[in-house]
Structures are given as C-alpha cells and as structure tokens.
C-alpha cells in the first residue's frame, strides 16, 4: 500500500512536494520542516546547494532558472518519474525590485514578472495534468502582504504579487471540481535573503530621497522581521492537514491588523498612512 492510501480522507500521510526557491529563506525553512515531517520534498533553485543538512533533507534538487520555461517542465517530470505522483506544489521562488515605478524599465519589469508571476503560472500548468489524473492535489502560492497593498517603491513587486493573487483566486475555482485545492500565503516582513537580493533601480532620480527613505524603512522591517521557520510551520500545517480558508496571512500582528484595517479606514486614509510611513509625506 502506498503512503498516501494510509491517511484518512485521502490526504497522503507522506506527500510528494515540489517547492520552488529551496536554496534560501522560506524555501530552505519549508523544505527542512516538511522533510522532518516525513514528506518527500523536491526543491528547485539556480544555485547548487552547499549545505549538507539541506541536501540530505531533500528527495531531489532540480537546478535551473525558473525564468527558463524548460525548468518547470523538467522539475515536474523529475518528480513524476521518481514518485509517480505529485501531491503538493509550492510556488515560493521570488525576487523584489526597490525603486520608483517611473525608474523601472521594461527589462527590469519583465524579469520580475517572469519569475514572480509567469514562472508560477508555468509550474501550475505543468503540475495540473498529473494532479487532475490523481483526482487530488494542493497548490500553495506564496504571495505577500504587498500583494494586497501597492507599496511605494516596491510597486513593481506589488504588481507581480497582485497578479499572483488574481491568478490564484481564479485557479481555485477552476480546479476545485478535480479535487485540487489552491491556497494563498501572504507573508509580511521576514528575515531572509530577499532583502539582499532586492534589485534597486533608479539610483539618481527625482525620487531618490523618497526612495532611499522608503528602502531604509523596508529593509529595517525585513531584517527585524520574524524568522522564516515561523512561516514554514504554517506551510507544514497546510500540507499536513489542509486548510479551511483560501488566504493565510503571516508575520507580525501589527502588519496583519494594518492590512485588515484598510476596510475600516477607507482607501484615502489608508494610502496616506502608507505614504507617511514609507516616505514621511502624505
Ligand atoms: N522575506 C520577506 O519578507 C517576504 C515577504 C513576503 C513575501 N515573500 C516572498 O517569499 C518568497 C521567498 O522569498 P524569500 O524571502 O525566502 O527570499 P530569498 O531568501 O531571496 O529566497 C528566494 C529563493 O528563490 C530562488 N530564486 C530566485 N530567483 C530564481 C530563479 N530565477 N529561478 C529559480 N529560483 C530562483 C532563490 O534561489 P537561487 O538564487 O539559488 O535561484 C531562493 O531559493 C518570494 O516569493 C517572496 O516574494 C518574502
């Protein structure tokens, strides 16, 4: 009997998981947590994995750039060849751009959307045929609180995560009849490599003073944020038991409450508060 047949309600006791962005931050923490819980985790990243502990935890590593369409196909095929099934897809790999929207050119925007949005949709498309055939599957898309609010000087990043939000909402309805669940996870600020990897654009522009102030604030919030293990706990619960909701926010209570308060405040007041917080101006 296969592992997945042993669990109650058809949910695999040991899931076969494909996770993008495994080499650092959330991805590394999620992989370690899921592997410790007995799941078979296959990770994708561009970097070779140097850490022995992480390598040991993984059932497999697919090295490749997710901006290359071949990587998604190769990753899903690798998992299916080895395991004959794919239970959970976690779209986690992502990057940020810091800078004014006017200073962000097409090439920078395309690269960001390619990874944060197109690679997500590609991995979903590659994974869905197998999940439909199985009659079950789970897709977890890592969005951001920045996918619920257009953050000044992270506008391109917010746009990419808004795209993931809309895509995931529609996907959830479309695939539900086939026994496939889709969840959105929306983290606030966490301490990961994301801060150092952020591409900063428009070094010398009319926006520079505002941008620098905003980036100082953003970086301070991220570097003093929670550890990625806290998010990995949430993901492990969703993989193990499933979820009752569609959206899961994660991170500091104050950030999550602030996002929820938008409805009470109204857009005008909320966006003024945001401008004041990041730019020191309303
Ligand atoms: N940290 C936060 O505060 C925060 C908040 C909200 C949402 N998020 C989201 O959380 C997710 C994970 O970010 P993180 O904070 O863990 O950042 P991170 O530490 O920088 O990790 C990003 C991961 O994505 C991989 N990656 C980047 N570009 C790639 C590419 N072109 N192809 C394949 N893999 C690629 C990286 O591996 P390689 O470099 O080896 O390829 C790395 O494993 C992202 O979607 C991010 O938007 C983060």
Mind listing the pLDDT tens digit for each residue in 143-187?
999 999 999 999 999 999 999 999 999 999 999 999 999 999 999
Q: Which domains does the chain have, with CATH numbers?
A: 9-279 (3.40.50.720)
Ligand 1 pocket, residue 141 CB under 6 Å: no
Ligand 1 pocket, residue 222 CB under 6 Å: yes
How would residue 133 be classed by pLDDT, with cut points 50, 70 and 90? very high
Tell me the C-alpha distance between 25 and 11, whole Å: 27
The structure tokens listed for 8 are 């109650």
Question: Is it the case that residue 8 has pLDDT exceeding 50?
Answer: no
- How distant is the alpha carbon of residue 132 from its chain centre? 23
Ligand 1 pocket, residue 19 CB under 6 Å: no
What is the DSSP code (8-state) at residue 114? I
Atom of ligand 1 at shortest range from CA of 95: 47
Tell me the C-alpha distance between 152 and 104, whole Å: 13
Distance 48 CA to ligand 1 centre (A): 15
Q: Provide the CB-side half-sphere exposure for 13 (13 A, CA).
A: 7
Question: Is it the case that residue 267 has pLDDT exceeding 70?
Answer: yes
Atom of ligand 1 at shortest range from CA of 67: 31
Tell me the C-alpha distance between 92 and 165, whole Å: 13
Which residue puts its alpha carbon closest to atom 41 of ligand 1?
Answer: 46
Nearest-CA neighbor of 109 among 44, 202, 27, 211?
202
Report, as residue numbers or ranges, the catalytic residues: 23, 143, 157, 161
Which residue puts its alpha carbon closest to atom 20 of ligand 1?
Answer: 194
- How distant is the alpha carbon of residue 216 from its chain centre? 23
Nearest-CA neighbor of 12 among 78, 83, 62?
83
Ligand 1 pocket, residue 241 CB under 6 Å: no
Q: Other C-beta atoms within 10 Å of 78: how many? A: 17
Q: Is the overall model pTM greater than 0.75, yes or no?
A: yes
Ligand 1 pocket, residue 45 CB under 6 Å: yes
* Contact status, residue 164 vs residue 187, Cβ threshold 8 Å: no
CA dihedral 252, 172, 237, 13 (to 10 degrees): -170
* Contact status, residue 147 vs residue 166, Cβ threshold 8 Å: no
């Amino acid at each position: 009997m296969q592992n997945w047949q042993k669990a109650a309600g058809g949910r695999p006791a040991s899931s076969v998981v494909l996770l993008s962005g495994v080499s650092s931050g959330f991805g590394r923490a999620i992989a370690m947590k899921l592997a410790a819980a007995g799941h078979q985790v296959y990770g994708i990243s561009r970097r070779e994995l140097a850490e022995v502990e992480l390598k040991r935890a993984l059932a497999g590593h697919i090295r490749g750039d997710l901006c290359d369409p071949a990587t998604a196909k190769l990753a899903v095929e690798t998992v299916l060849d080895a395991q004959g099934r794919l239970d959970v897809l976690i779209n986690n790999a992502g990057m940020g751009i810091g800078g004014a929207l006017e200073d962000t050119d097409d090439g920078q925007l395309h690269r960001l959307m390619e990874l944060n949005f197109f690679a997500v949709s590609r991995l979903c498309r590659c994974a869905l045929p197998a999940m439909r055939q199985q009659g079950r599957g789970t897709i977890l898309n890592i969005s951001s609180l920045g996918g619920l609010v257009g953050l000044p000087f992270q506008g391109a990043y917010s746009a990419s995560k808004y795209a993931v939000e809309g895509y995931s909402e529609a996907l959830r309805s479309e695939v539900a009849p086939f026994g496939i669940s889709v969840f959105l996870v929306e983290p606030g600020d966490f301490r990961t490599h994301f801060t150092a990897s952020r591409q900063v654009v428009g070094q010398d522009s009319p926006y520079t003073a505002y941008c620098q102030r905003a980036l100082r604030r953003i970086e301070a919030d991220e570097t003093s944020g929670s550890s990625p293990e806290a998010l990995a706990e949430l993901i492990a619960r969703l993989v193990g038991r499933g979820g009752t909701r569609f959206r899961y926010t994660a991170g500091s209570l104050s950030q999550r409450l602030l996002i929820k308060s938008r409805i009470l405040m109204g857009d005008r007041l909320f966006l003024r508060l945001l401008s004041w917080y990041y730019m020191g101006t309303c």
